[in-house]
């Protein structure tokens, strides 16, 4: 048990999937895992542990933004022994070749700042995904016929962005999508020597201004959960 996670020793699996929304964690656990158990509900941040194809898996909410994710990932790694952490979440598309419902596998994650900035000081550290997870996720997507893109994303500090000039440069430099957590997940994974990946569903688009209807979200988000689970145990 930690300040933010009420799980008992042994209740968190070494493989953890991290949606931002705690209710998406509940949906994913009920949909994809067997024999699930609620292992955390401190501050309303739900976490569930069960099995997938016989493998222990925890699906735990991380909240919105890098500071929130940093709290949970630090505790999951340091106090509960998590070894593989995969963010499953939504993102905004930033290239015309990226369509609504497509999946993005984040090879790298650019940012203006992260909670780790104080450690790196003047260094522009380049956080990236674990290669074994990235390769396995790409193979899983191809096998399942899921439209998938691999490349760089942008982890933003703000949801209501007022920097169109920055977005223009992200698009110009080939950034596939924007979200709010992956860069710090990758920083922490590098620091602790564990595996991390972000598997993202494009739910809206900064160029076309399309948005995924809420009724379609669960069906589309299921693709990224399946990709993440297959990648974790390949």
Provide DSSP, 64-129: SSHHHHHHHHHHHHHTT---EEEEEEEEEE-STT--TT-EEEEEEEEES--TTHHHHTT-----B-
Q: CATH number of the domain at 15-232, please?
A: 3.40.50.1580
pLDDT, block means (10 residues), the chain with 234 residues:
94 97 95 98 97 98 97 98 97 96 97 93 94 98 96 95 91 97 98 98 95 75 95 96
- Three-class secondary structure of residue 151 per DSSP: strand
210 is in an annotated binding site: no
CA distance 85 to 72: 11
Phi-psi region of 178 (alpha: psi -120 to 50; beta: other; left: phi over 0): beta
> Does the annotation count 130 as an active-site position?
no
20 is in an annotated binding site: yes
43 is in an annotated binding site: yes
> Which strand (E) or helix (H) includes residue 57?
strand 55-60
Long-range contacts of 119-124 (CB under 8 A, 24+ apart): none
Q: What is the pLDDT of residue 233?
A: 97
Quote the pTM value: 0.95
CA distance 91 to 72: 20
152 is in an annotated binding site: no
90 is in an annotated binding site: yes
Q: What is the pLDDT of residue 162?
A: 84
Q: What is the pLDDT of residue 215?
A: 67
Looking at 165, 204, 216, 223, which residue is catalytic? 204
Report which of 111, 127, 47, 50 is spatially closest to residue 79, judged by C-alpha positions. Answer: 47
- Two tokens at 1? 């048990």
Q: What is the pLDDT of residue 94?
A: 97
- Two tokens at 169? 């440069």
Q: What is the pLDDT of residue 219?
A: 66
- Where along the chain do its domains lie? 15-232
HSE at residue 71, side-chain half, CA atoms within 13 A, is: 16
């Amino acid at each position: 048990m930690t300040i933010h996670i009420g799980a008992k020793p042994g209740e968190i699996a070494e493989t953890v999937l991290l949606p931002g929304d705690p209710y998406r964690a509940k949906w994913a656990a009920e949909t994809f895992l067997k024999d699930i158990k609620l292992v955390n509900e401190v501050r309303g941040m739900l976490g569930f542990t069960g099995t997938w194809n016989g493998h222990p898996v925890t699906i735990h909410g991380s909240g919105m933004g890098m500071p929130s994710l940093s709290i949970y990932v630090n505790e999951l790694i340091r106090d509960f022994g998590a070894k593989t952490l995969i963010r499953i979440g939504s993102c905004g598309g930033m290239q015309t070749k990226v369509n609504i419902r497509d999946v993005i596998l984040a090879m790298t994650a650019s940012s203006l700042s992260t909670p780790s900035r104080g450690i790196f000081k003047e260094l522009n550290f380049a956080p990236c995904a674990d290669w074994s997870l990235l390769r396995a996720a790409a193979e899983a997507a191809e096998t399942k016929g899921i439209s998938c893109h691999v490349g760089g994303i942008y982890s933003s500090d703000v949801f209501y962005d007022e920097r169109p000039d920055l977005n223009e440069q992200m698009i110009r430099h080939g950034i596939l999508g924007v979200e709010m957590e992956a860069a710090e997940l990758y920083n922490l994974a590098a620091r602790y020597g564990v595996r991390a990946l972000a598997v993202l569903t494009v739910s809206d688009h900064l160029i076309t201004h399309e948005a995924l209807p809420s009724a379609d979200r669960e069906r589309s988000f299921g693709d990224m959960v399946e990709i993440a689970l297959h990648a974790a145990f390949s």
